[in-house]
Amino acid sequence: MKSHFNKLEEIDRKRNPFKVPDNYFARLNEEIMNHLPEKEIVPPQTVSLWEKVKPWVYMAAMFVGLYITIQFLTKQADNGNVASRQSVVQIQESYWSTVQVTEEEFYEYLEEQLVEEGYFDYMYDQYYLN
């Protein structure tokens, strides 16, 4: 029985069976370039000045709008607060201008507040128990 492996023994081992055609690598670039399709050269489009500046103008307009909105809202809030503050001050002035409180009454009031709220016990414990 003759096998196919015997043919391997017939090959001359010192000679390389593979061969590259003459000037293959010298012509390789030319061959590749010849097989590529032609590419159209498109001239670059000119960009107008407005197209270049447009994002900056939009951003500036946004900040101006934001500034105007904040100014409007803070002035509205201040106008409402000023009116309410003036009315509160007038009420306080009219009330306290007619009230006569002695120093003793004032200290009694403070002591009642301290006892009712439990601050007196808290201060006593902090000072004497520590």
- Decide if 26 is inside a domain: no
- Decide if 73 is inside a domain: no
- Decide if 67 is inside a domain: no
The token pair that represents 31 in the structure block: 């061959």
Number of domains in the chain: 1
In this predicted structure, what is the pLDDT of residue 51?
94
- Decide if 105 is inside a domain: yes
CA–CA–CA angle 124, 125, 126 (5° rounding): 90
Contact between residue 120 and residue 114 where contact means Cβ atoms under 8 Å apart: yes
- Decide if 111 is inside a domain: yes
Alpha-carbon dihedral 44, 48, 50, 52, rounded to 10 degrees: 40
- Decide if 72 is inside a domain: no
**Enclosing domain of residue 111:** 101-130
The span from the CA of 19 to the CA of 66, in Å, is 77
Burial 90-127 (b: 16+ CB within 10 A, else e): eeeeeeeeeeeeeeeeeeeeeeeeeeeeeeeeeeeeee
In this predicted structure, what is the pLDDT of residue 10?
66
Q: Give the predicted TM-score (pTM) of the model.
A: 0.33
Decide if pLDDT at 49 tops 90: yes
- Decide if 113 is inside a domain: yes
pLDDT, tens digit, 9 for 90 and up, residues 91-112 = 666 665 666 778 888 888 888 8
33-37, 67-71, 117-121: range with lowest mean pLDDT: 117-121
- Decide if 122 is inside a domain: yes
